[in-house]
Chain A
Amino acid sequence: MSMHNKTPLVHISKRREMPWYWSFGIRAAAIAAAFLVCAFVTMALTGENPLAVFATLFYGAFGTERKIWILLQNIAILLCIALAVTPAFKMRFWNIGGEGQVLIGGLAAAACMILLGDKLPNGLLIAVSLAASLLSGALWGAIPAVFKAKWNTNETLFTLMMNYVATQLVAFFVIVWEVPKGAGKIGIINQSSEAGWLPQIGDYKYLLNILIVAVLTLAMYVYLRRSKHGYELSVVGQSERTARYVGIKVGRVIVRTMILSGAICGLAGFLLVAGTDHTITTTIAGGRGFTAVMVSWLAGFNPLSMVFTSFLLVFLDRGASEIATNFMLNHAFGDILAGIILFFIIGSEFFIRYQLHFRKRSKKEV
């Protein structure tokens, strides 16, 4: 009878498949629970009632037409970077250098706008700076990939260090090109001539960026799901040995994928500099290279689901910054809320992948 006492209280086993509505339900429940905790935390800090807090959260994200456009623009950029890091992650290449690749892409665009601003016709200038951004982003991604492919150099650390090298490069050029001298920043580039600025569609400043990223999302979906390249990189991600065995050149796939990944990050930098900000600073990527990793993972590396996960994170960020402004709190408040929600979503994955079996009571009574 001593056997009974030894049965653990909870036994964990892997689930096979779960109907999609169940896994969807679990995730929704996790997000709902996270929002409750967030409301509680906000209440404890501000003393407001939770409904008012939620109202502020929504107002911050959707309150005015301008806020909605900013929300969409931020989603587009975050989504673009998340799309960029996804093929690398599917290959189990931990590219946390999105930040640096975006920066260097933005720097290349800014360099073209500053140096060639009055020398080329506008259309050609935009094409040249786009190409420069893509190339420099690709280069920034390819360097760690080459070392990884040849000598198995740790890519996490490598890409991380490349971020700082890029940041310092930008800091260097900001001082070289600063306007006026001693200001420590570049200011709006080509403000009067608007040379190198992406054209606006009608009155909508952000629409072009959003459309470009929408097209890119579909393209990435097709690339990962339907193309030979996409298939190869997921084989490499699942098992390098299998990939070698079936004749996939692993090194080439790594470098090729990172060139793509870096180039798309470069594109994000280009959209930021030529499309919206028209200037370059060391904080132009704003930590999105790291947030993008979470966007991509939370969506299970599916480009279409990433639209939703990036929406969730940007929505929180915008809403929380509104709360912070209203209650005169620090703007980092958004990071705390984002962290809480992420913890809940990360934790909820467990209940999708595993099943809990509790010890049955009835046996004891027999």
Chain B
Amino acid sequence: MFDFVSFIPRAVVQSIPLLYGATGETLTEKSGNLNMGIPGIMYVGGICGVIGAFLYEQAAGESLNGFLAIAIPMLCCLLGSLLMGLLYCFLTVTLRANQNVTGLAMTTFGVGFGNFFGGSLIKLTDSEVPSIALSATSSYFSASLPFADRLGWFGEIFLSYGFLAYLAIVIALLTAYVIRHTRVGLHLRAVGENPATADAAGINIGRYKYMATCLGAMIAGLGGLYYVMDYACGVWSNDAFGDRGWLAIALVIFTGWRPNVGILASILFGGLYILYLFIPTGTNLSIKELYKMLPYLVTLVVLVLSSLRNKREKQPPQSLGLAYFREDR
């Protein structure tokens, strides 16, 4: 029998970084900005949290304050991703640069930034620890409810996660609500669909693009923070975050630009991502590598199927990827 009670929690912890990334990117894309810098931003978010936690742990020594141990990394993470979002906006909205290229450059920069500080932080701060292992900070991030493990399989599946996991779901639901059911969301969608019309209706295009993209970047950055602090138990290793940022971008298209659908879709992705660990293959290691293809193949199949059906509500925002210049009309 397939072991669901141990499979589902592992799928969920895999899915949370994807969910943060996908929610952030959906919000960004709704404003017409295609931010391919998300993988880089998630690295920056993660490493900024690590830097904050590292400096705090060094300064505080043994006596960590629980509130500060969570607040400092979070603020650092949000600040780092906000700066990346601002940079992206400045280049693509104010200077109207090509969004694909700007995004790829941000990914190069962000991944480099993460790996560089991950690899050099100890040398730069002249500290005497062998590696970055923030287990003290991590224990605050991954703390679950005290009675969770007394509830059997229910506790295991629903209550065994750190607070950032629940925050991801709340943010996804909130984003979906704001986009679908509020005036701000309506304006945002107008900006993404047809900025010229939105401009004529008196909506400040630049402000909406800046706000949506920066908020999106901050949400995505939290995904990086969750990954190091909770999933990886506070241990930063270079390139460990891998291609999750790209998968998050894939999820946006996969879910048809709906963050609430993203919750289940990301858990599905998370499950596919680790399914190879649960399929018995005996001693044949090579087959495992083929099973690792599953999430990508499933994405391809869904992508093709949804383009075959070609439903109108599942299309990208119409002006996605295009810079807006009022005098171009």
Contact = CB atoms under 8 A, between A and B. Distances in A.
B29 to A, nearest CB: 12
A86 B290 CA distance: 31
Interface stretch (B48-56, B65-73, B216-224, B299-307): B299-307
A347 B105 CA distance: 12
What's the interface size class on B, roughly?
A: 35 or more
Contacts of A298: 101
Nearest to B292: A168
B108 A338 contact: yes
A154 B307 contact: yes
A45 interface: yes
A347 B293 contact: no
A176 B287 CA distance: 9
What's the interface size class on A, roughly?
A: 35 or more
Interface stretch (A189-197, A204-212, A245-253, A326-334): A326-334
Q: Which residue among B97, B299, B327 has the maximum number of chain A CB atoms within 10 Å of its CB?
A: B97
B15 interface: no
B312 to A, nearest CB: 13
A54 interface: no
A294 B101 contact: yes
Contacts of A334: 112
A347 B95 contact: yes
A290 B287 CA distance: 28
Interface of A: 12-14, 45, 94, 96, 147, 151-154, 157-158, 160-162, 164-165, 168-169, 171-173, 175-176, 287, 290-291, 293-294, 297-298, 328-336, 338-340, 342-343, 346-347, 349-350, 353-354
27 contacts: A14-B328, A94-B100, A153-B304, A154-B253, A154-B303, A157-B253, A157-B299, A161-B303, A168-B296, A172-B289, A175-B285, A290-B104, A293-B100, A294-B101, A297-B98, A329-B123, A330-B117, A330-B119, A332-B111, A332-B116, A335-B113, A339-B110, A339-B112, A340-B109, A342-B101, A346-B97, A347-B90
Contacts of B87: 343
Nearest to B107: A290
Nearest to B123: A328
B238 A343 contact: no
